[in-house]
A and B are shown apart, each in its own frame.
Chain A
Amino acid sequence: MDKLARSKSHQSSSKEAYELGKNWSKQAKERAFLLQEHLIKWFDDEQSGMQEAIQQSILGTDFSSEDIYFQLSAIKSRLETGDLVHWVDQCTSDRPSSDESRHWLDAQSTDNENIEAYRVTQLRERSHILCIHAGNLPLVGLQDVIAVLLAGHCYTGKISRKDPYLLSSILSWLIQFGWREQIQHWTQNTAEIPVNNYDEVLFAGSESSLSSVRKTLTEARTLDEETPWLNRIASFSIAYCSSKEAVIEQSTEFMDALMRHGGKGCRSVGVVVSPVGLNELRIPLENAMKNVLEQNGSLRQANTLEQSDALKQNNSANLKMAEIPLQGGNRSESTRLTYKKAYNIAVDRVFVDVGDWMIEEHPIEYVPEPSNNRVVYWVHANQEDLVNLVERFGSALQSIYYVGPKASDVKKPYKYSFDIESIDSAQRPPLYWKPDGIDILRYLCPFII
Chain B
Amino acid sequence: MGTNSRLNMNEPFSISSQTFEHFKQRMPELHVSLAEPVTPFFLNSTLNFDEKLAHIFVFQYLLNPVYQKYCTALGWSADDYYRCFDELPPLLPVQAFKDAAVWTHDALVGDTEISTYLTHLKADAQPLEFLSSGTSAMQRSRHRVLNPTFYDASIRAAWQARFGRDNWIIWAYTPGYSENPQSSLLYMIDRLMEWDHTQESRYLSLEECLPLQQLNKLVGDGHRVMLFGAAFGWLDLIERHERENEPLSLPREVSIMETGGMKTFRRAISRVDLFERLVQGFNCAPEQLHTEYGMTECLSQAYTSKGLWLESPDWMKIVVVDPDQPNKVLESGQEGQIGIVDLANIYSCSFMLTGDRGVQDEEGRFQVLGRWEPTSLRGCNFLMEQDG
Which residues of A pack against B, CB within 8 Å? Answer: 62, 134-136, 140, 160-163, 188-190, 204-206, 208-209, 232-236, 263-266, 268, 270, 332-333, 335-336, 338-339, 341-343, 345-349, 365-366, 370-373, 396, 398, 435
Contact = CB atoms under 8 A, between A and B. Distances in A.
Closest 10 CB pairs of A and B: A235-B379, A206-B381, A342-B73, A346-B70, A135-B383, A332-B324, A134-B384, A134-B380, A205-B384, A347-B99
Interface stretch (B11-19, B44-52, B90-98, B265-273): B90-98
Interface of B: 66-67, 69-74, 90, 92-93, 95-96, 98-100, 137, 139, 322-327, 374-388
Determine which residue in B69, B100, B376 has the highest number of CB atoms from chain A within 10 A of its CB, and name it: B376
Contacts of A343: 70, 92-93, 95-96
Contacts of A398: 379
Contacts of B72: 345
Contact of A345 (B73, B382, B383): B73
B64 to A, nearest CB: 10
Contacts of A365: 137, 139
Contact of B383 (A162, A233, A266): A162
Nearest to A268: B378
A341 B73 CA distance: 8
Determine which residue in B72, B74, B380 has the highest number of CB atoms from chain A within 10 A of its CB, and name it: B380
B137 A190 contact: no
Contacts of B327: 335
B114 to A, nearest CB: 21
A206 B388 contact: no
A332 to B, nearest CB: 4
Given A140-B380, A263-B378, A372-B374, A345 B385 contact: no
A366 B140 CA distance: 10
Contacts, number: 133
Contacts of B324: 332-333, 335-336
A206 B387 contact: no
B90 to A, nearest CB: 7
B96 A347 contact: yes
B73 A236 contact: no
Contacts of A161: 387-388
30 contacts: A134-B387, A136-B382, A160-B383, A205-B385, A206-B381, A208-B385, A209-B387, A235-B376, A235-B378, A264-B382, A265-B380, A270-B378, A332-B325, A336-B323, A336-B324, A341-B73, A342-B69, A342-B70, A343-B96, A345-B72, A345-B73, A346-B66, A346-B67, A346-B92, A347-B100, A348-B69, A365-B139, A366-B98, A371-B375, A373-B377
B138 to A, nearest CB: 8
Contacts of A346: 66-67, 69-70, 73, 92, 96, 100
Nearest to B138: A366
Contact of B379 (A233, A333, A348): A233
A435 B381 CA distance: 13
B385 A209 contact: yes
A232 B379 CA distance: 9
Contacts of B71: 342
A264 B388 contact: no
A266 B327 CA distance: 31
A192 to B, nearest CB: 10
Contacts of B74: 338-339, 342
B91 to A, nearest CB: 9
A223 to B, nearest CB: 17
Contacts of B378: 235-236, 263-266, 268, 270, 370-373
Nearest to B96: A347
Given A160-B387, A336-B325, A234 B100 contact: no
Nearest to B68: A346
Contacts of B386: 162
Given A160-B387, A206-B384, A266 B379 contact: yes
A398 to B, nearest CB: 8
Given A134-B384, A161-B388, A234 B379 contact: yes
Contacts of B322: 332
Contact of A209 (B66, B67, B90, B381): B381
A208 B375 CA distance: 10
A204 B383 CA distance: 11
Contacts of A366: 98, 139
Nearest to B74: A342
Contacts of A335: 324-325, 327
A338 B70 CA distance: 11
Contacts of A373: 377-378, 382
A234 B74 CA distance: 34
B383 A190 contact: no
